[in-house]
A and B are shown apart, each in its own frame.
Chain A
Amino acid sequence: MDSWIAIIRLDLALFLRDRKALVLLYLVPVLMAAFFGQLTGGTGGKAERSAIGLVLVDLDGSAASRGVVAAFTNDSTFAVVVTNEAAARDRVTAGRVPVGLVFPPGFSTNLLQGIFQSDRRPVVTLLFDPSHETERSLLEGMLVPKVVSGVADGLLNVDVGRDLIARGRTNILRAQRLPEIQRRLLLDSLAQADAFLESRRTSVARTNAVAGPAELPLPYRVDAQPLTRVAGARYNGFAHSFAGMSLQFVLMVMIDLAVGLLTERQSGTFRRLRAAPLSRATLLLGKATSYAIIALSTFVVSFAVAMSAFGVRIHGSWIGFVAVILALCYFSATLALALAAIGRTPKATRGLAIPVVLILLMLGGAWIPSFIFPSWVRTVSLWMPTGWGIEALDAMTWRGLDVSAVFLPVAGLVAVGTLLGGIAWRRFRWDGGPGS
Chain B
Amino acid sequence: MNTEGSAPVVLAARNLVRRFGDRVAVDGISFEVRAGESVGLLGPNGAGKTTTFSMVTGLLRPDSGELLLGGAALVSDTDPIKRRLGLVPQDLALYEELDARRNLGFFAAIQGVGRSRIPEAVRSALEFVGLSDRADDRVGTFSGGMKRRLNLAAALLHDPDILLLDEPTVGVDPQSRNAIFDNIAELRRRGKTLLYTTHYMEEVERLCDRVIIIDRGRIVADDSLARLRHRAGAGAGAELRIELEEPAPETLTGILRDIPGIGSVRIDGRSVQVRVGSLAAGSSQVLGRLAEAGIGVRSFSAEPPNLEAVFLELTGRSLRDS
Q: How distant is B88 from chain A, measured CB to nearest CB, in Å? A: 9
A33 within 8 A of B: no
Given contacts A278-B78, A436-B50, contact A431 B60 (CB under 8 A): yes
List, in ascending order, chain A residues with CB within 8 A of B112's CB: 276-277
Chain A residues near B80 (CB-CB < 8 A): 277
User: At the interface, yes or no: B51 with Cβ under 8 Å from chain A?
Assistant: yes
Within 8 A of A (CB), among B74-121: 76-80, 82-83, 85, 87, 89-95, 107, 110-112
Contacts of B83 in A (CB 8 A): 277
Inter-chain CA distance A434–B82, complex, in Å, is 22
Closest Cβ–Cβ distance, residue B171 to chain A (whole Å): 13
Name the interface residues of B53-68: CB closer than 8 Å to any CB of A.
53-54, 57-60
User: Do A269 and B95 touch across chains, with their CB atoms under 8 A apart?
Assistant: yes
Residues B77 and A271 in contact, CB atoms below 8 Å apart:
no
A272 to B90, CA, bound (A): 11
Please, how many angstroms separate the alpha-carbon atoms of A272 and B92 in the complex? 10
Given A436-B45, A436-B46, verify A275-B76 contact (CB < 8 Å).
Answer: no
* Cβ–Cβ contact A277 & B54, under 8 A: no
Would you call B154 and A272 a contact (CB within 8 A)? yes
- Contact B77 A278, beta carbon cutoff 8 Å: yes
Q: A280 to B76, alpha carbons, bound, how many Å?
A: 11
Asked if A274 is an interface residue, CB under 8 A from chain B, the answer is: yes
Known: A431-B59, A435-B51. A277 touches B78 (CB 8 A): yes
Question: Taking the nearest CB of chain B, how far is it from the CB of A150, in angstroms?
Answer: 68
* Known contacts A277-B112, A279-B77; A268 and B58 CB within 8 A of each other: no
Contact A280-B77, Cβ < 8 Å, known A271-B87, A431-B60, A436-B90: yes
Tell me which residues from 388 to 436 in chain A have a Cβ below 8 Å from any Cβ of chain B: 431, 434-436
- Chain B residues with CB below 8 A from A134, complex form: none
Q: Is the CB of A274 within 8 A of B58?
A: yes
Question: Number of contact residues on A: which range applies?
Answer: 10 to 19
* Contact partners of A282 in chain B: CB under 8 A: 78
Q: How many residue-residue contacts, CB under 8 A, span A and B?
A: 75
8 Å CB contact of B91 from A267, A276, A277, A279: A267
> Is the CB–CB distance between A276 and B89 below 8 Å?
no
Give the distance in Å from the alpha carbon of A276 to the alpha carbon of B80 in the complex.
9
Q: Is the CB of B87 within 8 A of A269?
A: no
Within 8 A of A (CB), among B38-52: 45-46, 50-51
Question: Which of B45, B82, B91 contacts A271, CB < 8 Å?
Answer: B91
Interfacial chain A residues near B87, Cβ < 8 Å: 271-272, 275
User: How far, in whole Å, are A271 and B55 apart by their CA atoms in the complex?
Assistant: 12
Within A8-63, the residues touching B (CB, 8 Å) are: none
A277 touches B45 (CB 8 A): no
The answer to whether A222 has its CB under 8 Å from any CB of chain B is: no
CA distance A146 to B114 in the complex (A): 76
**Further 9 A-B residue pairs, CB within 8 A, beyond A271-B59, A275-B87, A436-B45:** A268-B94, A272-B154, A274-B59, A276-B111, A277-B77, A277-B80, A279-B78, A435-B54, A436-B50
Q: List 20 A-B contacts (CB under 8 A).
A: A268-B89, A268-B90, A268-B91, A268-B93, A269-B93, A270-B93, A271-B59, A272-B87, A272-B155, A273-B110, A274-B57, A275-B85, A275-B89, A276-B110, A277-B77, A277-B79, A277-B83, A278-B78, A431-B60, A436-B90
Closest 5 CB pairs of A and B: A268-B93, A268-B91, A275-B57, A275-B87, A277-B82
Residues of B in contact with A (beta carbons under 8 Å apart):
20, 45-46, 50-51, 53-54, 57-60, 76-80, 82-83, 85, 87, 89-95, 107, 110-112, 154-155
| A interface residue numbers (CB < 8 A to B) | 267-280, 282, 431, 434-436
